[in-house]
A and B are shown apart, each in its own frame.
Chain A
Amino acid sequence: MKQKSIAIVGAAETTDLGKIPNLSQIQLHADAALNAMADCGITAKDIDGIATAGDSPASIAHYLGITPTWVDGTGVGGCSFMLHVRHAAAAINEGLCEVALITHGESGRSRIGRGGFASAPATLPGQFEAPYGPAGPPSMFTIPVLRMMKETGLTLEQLAMVAVVQREWAGMNPRAYMHDPITVDDVVNSRMIAYPFRLLMCCLVTDGGGALILTKADRAKDFPQKPVYILGTGESVETPMISQMEDFTSSKAFRVSGSKAFSEADITHSDVDHLMIYDAFAHLPIYGLEDLGFVGRGEAGAFIADRNTAPGGKLPLNTNGGGLSYMHSGMYGMYALQESVRQMRGTAPAQVEDAKISVCHGVGGMFMASGTIIMSNESP
Chain B
Amino acid sequence: MADYKKPIPVPTPETQDFWEGAKKEELRLQRCDDCSAVIFPPRPFCPSCSSREVSSFTASGQGRLYSYVINERAAPGFEAPYAIAIVELNEGPRMMTNIVNCEQTPESLVLDMPLKVVFESITEEISLPKFQPAGD
The smallest beta-carbon distance between B56 and chain A, in angstroms, is 16
Docked Cα-Cα span, A132 to B106, in Å, equals 18
When the two chains form their complex, are residues A127 and B9 in contact, meaning their CB atoms are under 8 A apart?
Answer: yes
Q: Please name 7 further chain A to chain B contacts, defined as beta carbons within 8 Å, in addition to the given A138-B71, A140-B84, sorted by A numbering.
A: A127-B11, A133-B6, A135-B74, A147-B111, A194-B71, A195-B81, A244-B41
- Asked if B73 is an interface residue, CB under 8 A from chain A, the answer is yes
In the complex, which of the residues B15, B19, B67, B97 contacts A144, with contact meaning CB atoms closer than 8 Å? B67
- Asked if A248 is an interface residue, CB under 8 A from chain B, the answer is yes
Docked Cα-Cα span, A121 to B15, in Å, equals 12
When the two chains form their complex, are residues A135 and B73 in contact, meaning their CB atoms are under 8 A apart?
Answer: yes
When the two chains form their complex, are residues A134 and B71 in contact, meaning their CB atoms are under 8 A apart?
Answer: yes
Q: Name B residues whose Cβ lies closer than 8 Å to a Cβ of A.
A: 6-12, 15, 19, 41, 66-75, 77-78, 81-82, 84-86, 94-98, 106, 111-112, 122, 128
Contact status of A145 and B73, CB under 8 A, knowing A127-B9, A127-B10: no
The smallest beta-carbon distance between A282 and chain B, in angstroms, is 14
> How many chain A residues touch B (Cβ–Cβ < 8 Å)?
37
Hey, what's the 0/1 contact readout for A116-150 against B, CB within 8 Å counting as 1?
00011110101111111111001110111111001
Classify the interface of chain B: helix, strand, loop or mixed: loop
Contacts of B71 in A (CB 8 A): 133-135, 138-139, 194
Cβ-closest 8 pairs across A and B: A195-B70, A127-B9, A147-B67, A135-B75, A122-B10, A194-B69, A243-B96, A130-B7
When the two chains form their complex, are residues B73 and A139 in contact, meaning their CB atoms are under 8 A apart?
Answer: yes
Contacts of A267 in B (CB 8 A): none
When the two chains form their complex, are residues B75 and A124 in contact, meaning their CB atoms are under 8 A apart?
Answer: no
Contacts of A169 in B (CB 8 A): none
When the two chains form their complex, are residues B6 and A131 in contact, meaning their CB atoms are under 8 A apart?
Answer: yes
Q: Which residue of A lies closest to B79 (CB)?
A: A133
